[in-house]
Amino acid sequence: MAEEQGFGVLWYTEWLSSLEAHVHGIKRIIYDGRTKYQRVTLAETGSFGLTLFLDGYAQSSEYDEFVYHESLVHPAMLTHPHPEKVLVIGGGEGATLREVLKHPSVKRAVMVDIDEELVEIVKRYMWKWHRSSFDDPRVELLFMDGKKFVEETSERFDVIILDLTDPVSGTPGVHLYTKEFYETIYDKLTPQGVMVTQATSTRYNVKAFSVINNTVASVFPVARPYKVFVATFYSEWGFALGSKGRDPLKIDKEEISRRLQSLDLRYLDLETFYYLFHIPKYIREEMQKYTQISTRDNPLQIEI
């Protein structure tokens, strides 16, 4: 990330790789500082409106955060026949929690995020994301290591949503994408439980997308990769869904349609739900090149 003045505008450079960058024209910086864990920049950008940057990378923007969050949350929630207890690991903006709470069946939602300072910043400046979801009486908000919580809790959940940072080499996130961690997730799910994790970019990190899905498939009897285009990320973004029971693509369409209609969504409808799971041929062919399963001894690591 770099900042410089030009043509009377502050330019914020987001390096997507060593060979590619996107330059944001900044109208106004709302917040810029460091928490214990990361640098947090909240700025009004020319193209995407209010945008949250973490350690120099766009985390979400008001332009299309709903595309990412609806796509992350609802396929898993709809795959479970009646989700009452939901666990969210990560999701500091509160938007993942916001989408979970739209389901009338939900009686309890636990959100675990390690960065309490970030959540306080979000509460102050990003109401459009959380919509006061942190204050919902169904919510328990915990500030601790998500891996530690999953390993130590005796509670079982219908749906577990992993809204995590990428498994970047040298960071704790590497251990949240391994077979051993997914086996722990499996054990913390109820008999028809469903999990979903963000699975990185299908453009910059197709290997990581493939390996994450391989790893989920090594643990869950039903595993489905899917993706959605997020303009803020300049890429289709990948996800990996694992289910103990139902296959999202074999659920009666009338059920999916009926449950979608009960939700207040901007992006996802019945047609879009099925489109998410349509992986283009060139990506499927690329994915076949990677057979690795991420393990504790040989974890997936993204080099930046």
Annotated binding site: 38, 69, 93, 113, 145-146, 172
Tokens at 20, concatenated? 């590619």
Torsion of CA 124, 148, 84, 131, to 10 degrees: 10
- Residue 149 C-alpha from the chain's centroid: 18
Put residue 23 in one of left, alpha, beta given phi > 0 → left and psi -120 to 50 → alpha: beta
Considering the candidates 64, 115, 158, 163, report the single residue annotated as catalytic: 163
Of 198, 236, 204, 237, the residue nearest 216 (C-alpha): 198
Length of the chain, please? 304
Binding residues for spermidine: 69, 93
Q: Give the residue ranges of the annotated binding site for S-methyl-5'-thioadenosine.
A: 38, 113, 145-146, 172
3 state DSSP class of 152? helix
Question: 137 exposed, middle or buried (CB, 10 Å; 0-12, 13-18, 19+)?
Answer: exposed
CA quadruple 277, 263, 138, 40: dihedral sign: positive
Residue 136 among the catalytic residues: no
d(CA 43, CA 131): 19
Catalytic residues: 163
